Amino acid sequence: MNSIWTFFLIAFVAGFTLPTQAGINVQLNQWSQSAILAATISFAVGTIGLFVYALCLRIPLPALDTLSGHPWWIWTGGLLGAFFVAATIVLAPRLGATSMIALIIAGQMTTSVVLDHFGWLGYQMHPVSGMRILGVFLLLGGVILVRLF
């Protein structure tokens, strides 16, 4: 199960979830009449699902006394996720799935190059190179083509 190809497959399949989740949440938004409420419901359902899964696996809670050894910003991931879900609810009907995902990927790639270059947030350092920059520009060019045509 630890083959790199298994992880590539998981990442590829996880990519299916982004436009699918956005479309589902847009429908939830139409019912709830609020992008924020739709995102809240989506997160609540996800939280319940993860809680049940953790219970089934009997994953122990971490010791509270170890909390001081971790940076304060470890709690902000959920806020970033909430922003992302709410943003896709607003963007999907206005941009369409293809443009929305292309722009999201462009933002992800740009941020990823910076995070990798500096080794921030625990990522292994991978210095910026000409080929990496070319790859990001090719992706940005693809975003422009997708958006225009």
Can you give the pLDDT at residue 102? 86
* Residue 108, token pair as written in the block: 């992800």
Q: Where are the domains of the chain?
A: 4-148
Can you give the pLDDT at residue 1? 59
43 neighbors 85 (Cβ within 8 angstroms): yes
Please report, in tens digits, the pLDDT of each residue of the chain (149 residues total). Answer: 579 999 999 999 998 999 999 999 999 999 999 999 999 999 999 999 999 999 999 999 999 989 889 999 999 999 999 999 999 999 999 999 988 998 898 899 899 999 999 999 999 999 999 999 998 899 888 888 888 88
Can you give the pLDDT at residue 139? 84
Tokens 């497959």, residue located: 9
- Tell me which DSSP letter residue 61 carries: P
* Residue 44, token pair as written in the block: 């609540």
* d(C-alpha 50, C-alpha 82), whole Å: 16
Residue 105's nearest CA partner among 29, 41, 14, 23 is 14
Can you give the pLDDT at residue 58? 96
